[in-house]
């Protein structure tokens, strides 16, 4: 029995449908909007309200808990430090305490932002050194979660999928491209764009194999954001001339970004014998599924 915390978010939605399809799991999701909790397989849970967490655990009695909910907007985490800490650290702590009390395995999503981005791509064992509030909260969350026995920490990055209302990188480029809006996209931030559906499938596979510890689960191509945006335009037949490369230094972003980041997939490849697909094939698959 799996409880997906944040089943109304991008990764949560994909996990929910993948776990249902899989057939080996009984699946319940949580949502932050009390209205949606009228749905049969959804319960209301707010990470900043410990009582809602306890109530959900008592009601569902899960065996596996996957924590997808987090405050992920990197600049907002700088703007609203307390809120970021409350959700990403205290929230994770409350979830971990309940997992301990109810004896469940916990799966936690973390980020390449736990690194400073001076010498990526990084393996699971490389030294962390977050430079942003977001990165610091995720690392703090990792420390809390890793104290639980059998917990699984999955580091990922630049997660994208096709969701009309979505704010992920793919959707931002598609929306602006459709409106023929010019875009300045950073050409000096390197990462591995990761398909949300594949992230969900790999997560379930790691759960079934009872893996614990830290795993990088990211798309196999390391590329800068500008190149990724060009790939999106290529696959979706949008005008590539709308996109201009820009340096991070010129964007005056509140949070410091890791530039040479990205994550290595050697560990997951050695244990599962496969890695999530690269950007191009994944974008083509998304386009073909529409």
Can you tell me whether residue 11 is helix, strand or coil? helix
Distance in angstroms (rounded) separating the CA atoms of residues 257 and 228: 17
Can you tell me whether residue 289 is helix, strand or coil? helix
Angle ∠(176,12,222) on CA atoms, nearest 5: 55
Distance in angstroms (rounded) separating the CA atoms of residues 119 and 67: 29
187, 246 Cβ separation under 8 angstroms: yes
- Closest listed residue to residue 88, CA positions, set 69, 113, 115: 69
Can you tell me whether residue 81 is helix, strand or coil? helix
15, 68 Cβ separation under 8 angstroms: yes
The token duo for 31 is 């949502």
Distance in angstroms (rounded) separating the CA atoms of residues 205 and 189: 30
Report the Cα 222 to chain-centroid distance in Å.
17
Known catalytic residue at 227: no
Given the residues 16, 134, 160, 162, select the one marked as catalytic.
134
Which residues in 52-91 are b (16+ Cβ under 10 Å) and which e? bbbebbeebebebbbbbbbbbebebbbeeeeebbebbbbb
Element (H, E) at 110: strand 105-111
The separation between the first and the last C-alpha atoms of the chain, rounded to the nearest angstrom, is: 31
Q: Which of the residues are catalytic?
A: 134
């Amino acid at each position: 029995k799996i409880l997906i915390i944040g089943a109304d978010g991008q990764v949560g939605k994909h996990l929910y449908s993948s776990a249902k399809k899989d057939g080996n799991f009984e699946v319940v999701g949580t949502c932050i909007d009390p209205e949606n909790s009228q749905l049969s397989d959804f319960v209301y849970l707010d990470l900043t309200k410990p009582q809602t967490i306890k109530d959900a655990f008592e009601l569902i009695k899960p065996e596996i808990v996957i924590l997808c909910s987090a405050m992920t907007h990197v600049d907002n985490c700088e703007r609203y430090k307390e809120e970021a800490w409350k959700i990403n650290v205290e929230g994770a702590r409350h979830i971990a305490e309940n997992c301990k009390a109810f004896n469940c395995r916990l799966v936690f999503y973390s980020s390449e932002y736990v690194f400073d981005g001076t010498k990526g791509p990084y393996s699971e064992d490389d030294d962390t050194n977050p430079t942003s509030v977001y990165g610091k909260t995720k690392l703090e969350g990792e420390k809390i979660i890793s104290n639980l026995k059998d917990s699984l920490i999955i580091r990922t990055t630049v997660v994208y999928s096709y969701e009309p209302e979505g704010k992920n990188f793919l959707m931002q480029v598609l929306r602006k491209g459709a409106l023929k809006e010019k875009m300045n996209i950073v050409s000096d931030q390197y990462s591995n764009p990761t398909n949300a559906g594949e992230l969900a499938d790999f997560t379930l596979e790691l759960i079934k194999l009872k893996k614990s510890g830290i795993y990088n689960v990211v798309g196999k191509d390391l590329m800068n954001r500008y190149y990724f945006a060009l790939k999106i335009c290529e696959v979706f037949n949008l005008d590539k001339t709308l996109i201009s490369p820009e340096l991070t230094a010129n964007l005056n972003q509140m949070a410091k970004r890791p530039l040479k980041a990205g994550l290595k997939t050697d560990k997951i490849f050695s244990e599962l014998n496969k890695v999530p697909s690269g950007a191009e094939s994944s974008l083509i698959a998304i386009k073909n599924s529409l």
